[in-house]
Amino acid sequence: MIESRSKAMHAMVEGTVAALQAIRANALRSALTALGIIIGVASVIAVVAVMQGLSSTINRNLDDLASDMVIVSADTPTQQALIGLRNRLSFDDFLAVRERVRGIASITANMQPPSFGGRVKQGSHSTVTQIMGTDSNYQDVVRVYTDQGRFLSESDDQRRRRVAVLGPSVVRELELPANPVGSFIELGGDWFRVIGVAEARGSLFGFDQDNYVIAPFSTLKALAGNAQDEDVQIYYRPSKGVALDGIEAQLRQVLRTRLKVADGAPDPFKVQTAERTRKSFDSIVQGVTMVAAAVVGISLLVGGIGIMNIMLVSVTERTREIGIVKALGATPQFILIQFLVEALVLSLFGGMVGLALGWGLALLIALGVPGMSGAAVPLWAVLLALGFTTAIGVIFGLAPAIKASRLHPIDALRYE
């Protein structure tokens, strides 16, 4: 029993050495044989790494912004928008939510008047930005804090003061002083005094999070004039320990009643939370990963077929060599192990090279995406890629190995 095991181990070691020598002797052909595996694994690793990096970046930014903040905005179906109709939420809708919905710790309204055109001026300099009308609660809900000066106060909104808080990018584009508090800027033909500059947040995937101007809601509402164009977004945070679902149910009832929505009709508004955004993106990541897995599965199957074809050709080319080795005493087990290990090494070599190339490609892509912190290759992707390539090597290397091991020494020696 012990002797048979020793012979089996000896045959396995010698077969492995012979397989590695054969691969080394035909290095170029071996590399080309593994090319299909390399491309397949590199593709899926690059896609998975980039999507994991994107997911990590977005989740981190959502946590930084406000994980429990809820945004309610008007929602217009595509069919309705195509005929020029648009749903809107008014300031009165906001007031109704503020007064009737229970469980809200802090709530604010946000309006972006289209009549202002998003353009802000100072002297000979001008830039296009996001002009938002809101109140002092915006700071608590969205967690926007000032680096210089102060934020809007309740009296600013009550007295319709023409004051503004600027994002750092607006300060830079208008070439304002290092401390612009007290300077004046022009919004929609009216002058506003700068009372504060917000803290910098940087860019996210090319979107500048510091390019905005915040002014009192009542001031912009009065200057905009046309109530028909009024479109308000409602931002709020729930009280500690209060479930979001309960608040949302109240909110939907209040707004559907005010907007006179028929029973069974869809809501003309949408409720967005950081958690829902995270779940939506996670589902996109999973979908892309599944598609990538399907593509790489096909690529690996093609690569496996390529390995099998090359190995079958190799068996034919080395028929006389196999006959000589068998005539010298090599067992069918030795030949089987040699060709099976050769196919397995080629497949694993392709998998490891594909991993390295895929990771490198993902890092290059991450460098080209503004705001993306990097790419990440999860352990499960590495194990899956190597496990799948190992299975491909064994499955597609088995037929050539069996064919080689069954060759009769005399017939092999006669082969021309």
pLDDT of 195 > 90? The answer is yes
- Residue 234: per-residue pLDDT: 93
Q: What percent of the chain stands above pLDDT 90?
A: 23
Residue 169 has pLDDT above 60, yes or no: yes
* 182 or 325: which leads in pLDDT: 182
Across the range 48-54, mean pLDDT stands at 78
Condensed to tens digits (0 to 9), the pLDDT of residues 93-140 reads: 999 999 999 999 999 999 988 777 788 998 888 898 999 999 999 998
Distance (Å, whole) CA 113 – CA 188: 10
- Higher-pLDDT residue of 406 and 410 is 406
Structural Rg of the chain based on CA atoms: 34
Q: How far apart are the first and last CA of the chain?
A: 40
Q: Which residues pair with 198 in a beta bridge?
A: 146
**Contact predicate 286/279, CB 8 Å:** no
Q: What is the longest distance spanned by two Cα atoms in the chain?
A: 106
Judge if pTM exceeds 0.95.
no
Confidence bin at 67 (pLDDT 50/70/90): low
Q: Would you say 74 and 88 are in contact if contact means Cβ atoms under 8 Å apart?
A: yes
Distance CA 339, CA 162 (A): 82
Contact yes or no for 269/75 (Cβ under 8 A): yes
> What are the pLDDT digits (tens) for 222-231?
887 765 567 8
Q: Are 254 and 97 in contact (CB under 8 A)?
A: yes
Mean pLDDT (whole number) for 301-328? 70
Which tokens go with 99?
Answer: 């007064």
CA distances from 39 to 293, 382, 389 (A): 13, 15, 12
Are 387 and 293 within 8 A, CB to CB? Answer: no
Confidence label for 25 from pLDDT (cuts 50, 70 and 90)? low
Supply the mean pLDDT for the chain.
79
- Which range has the top average pLDDT, 162-166, 343-347, 405-409? 162-166
pLDDT for position 100: 93
What is the enclosing helix (H) or strand (E) of 289? helix 274-317
For residue 119, the cross-strand partners are 128
170 or 44: which leads in pLDDT:
170
User: Where does the pLDDT of residue 373 fall: very low under 50, low under 70, confident under 90, or very high at 90 and above?
Assistant: low
Q: Give, in order, the Cα–Cα distances in Å from 197 to each of 65, 140, 190, 292.
A: 18, 16, 19, 45
Residue 64 has pLDDT above 60, yes or no: no
Using a 10 angstrom Cβ sphere, with 0-12 exposed, 13-18 middle and 19 or more buried, the burial of residue 311 is buried
Q: Which helix (H) or strand (E) holds 105?
A: strand 104-111
Q: What is the mean pLDDT of residues 12-35?
A: 64
Residue 347, pLDDT > 60, answer: yes
Confidence of residue 42 (pLDDT cuts 50, 70, 90): confident
Confidence category of residue 66, pLDDT binned at 50, 70, 90? low
Kindly state the average pLDDT of the residues 320-338.
71
Cβ atoms within 10 Å, residue 218: 17
What pLDDT was estimated at residue 254?
Answer: 93
CA nearest to 18, candidates 393, 325, 373: 325
Q: Are 216 and 160 a contacting pair, CB within 8 Å?
A: yes
Q: Are 259 and 93 in contact (CB under 8 A)?
A: yes
Helix%, strand%, coil% for the chain, nearest 5: 60, 15, 25
Res. 191: pLDDT tops 90: yes
CA dist 121 and 311 (Å) reads: 72
